[in-house]
Amino acid sequence: MESIQRIIGKQLIEKGLTVSTAESCTGGGIAARLTSVAGSSAYVRGGVVAYQNDVKEDLLGVDAGTIYKYGVVSEETVVEMAKGAMKSLKTDCSMATTGIAGPGGEEPGKPVGTIWIAAAWGDRIVTMKQEGDEGRRKNIERAIQNALKMLSEILKK
């Protein structure tokens, strides 16, 4: 079976599109999966690991008011991260993640394992709230896989 990152690569090449990433809790894992494919430099422009809020704001253009109002782990923040990646890295598509991989760090109403994911192609943005704590490594791997699946789906339309 062909890997999701290879499928995405073919989709991007076929459409003549480029992709970027904006990652917090996945720490560059999405970008690593994309660039594990030979020839991925034809469509991957780069990624930002934005672990701290000021990096999200300064490099990705996330509004500090969004973080203050909704929290860093929110649909609103991950959407701004995805849009910011496309803008700052000049790409057609992006994927973004922000969440609590664990084992600590939970917030009221946001338990460990809560991860917001966004995939974008131009104005089309889909989001997903991943929930459930299966341990840090598994939480991160699930988020990476979900982000890749989401981008592949959006590219099919």
Q: How many domains is the chain built from? A: 1
**CATH number of the domain residue 103 falls in:** 3.90.950.20
Q: Which residue segment(s) compose the domain that 110 sits in?
A: 4-156
Residue 54, both tokens: 């000021």
Residues 6 or more apart from 121 whose CB is under 8 A from it?
Answer: 17, 92, 93, 151, 154, 155
Q: What is the pLDDT of residue 109?
A: 86
In this structure, what token pair is assigned to residue 85? 């990646």
d(CA 111, CA 3): 31
The pLDDT score that the predictor gives to residue 1 is 85
Question: Whole-model pTM?
Answer: 0.97
Task: Look at residue 104 in the predicted model and tell me its pLDDT.
Answer: 87
Which ranges of the chain have pLDDT less than 50? Answer: none
Q: Rounded distance, CA 44 to CA 52, Å?
A: 23
Instruction: DSSP letter for 41, please.
Output: G
